[in-house]
Amino acid sequence: MFLQIFRFELWYRLRRPATYIYFGILLLLALLLMLTSGAFLRAWP
């Protein structure tokens, strides 16, 4: 029963555009924070 619910929820969420929009926003926010903190430039040799 749990596996059926999990499959349905996974299928439902992956087909909605909001999932990808939120992922993109959080990815850009993480990259922006990394660039502004200087950690990105210090990682380069």
- pLDDT single digits (tens) 12-32: 999 999 999 999 999 999 989
Q: Is the pLDDT of residue 3 over 90?
A: yes
**What's residue 45's pLDDT?**
61
| CA 37 from centroid of its chain's CA atoms | 20
pLDDT value for 35: 82
Alpha-helical runs (H) found in 1-45: 2-14, 17-37, 39-42
Is the confidence at residue 39, as pLDDT, over 80? no
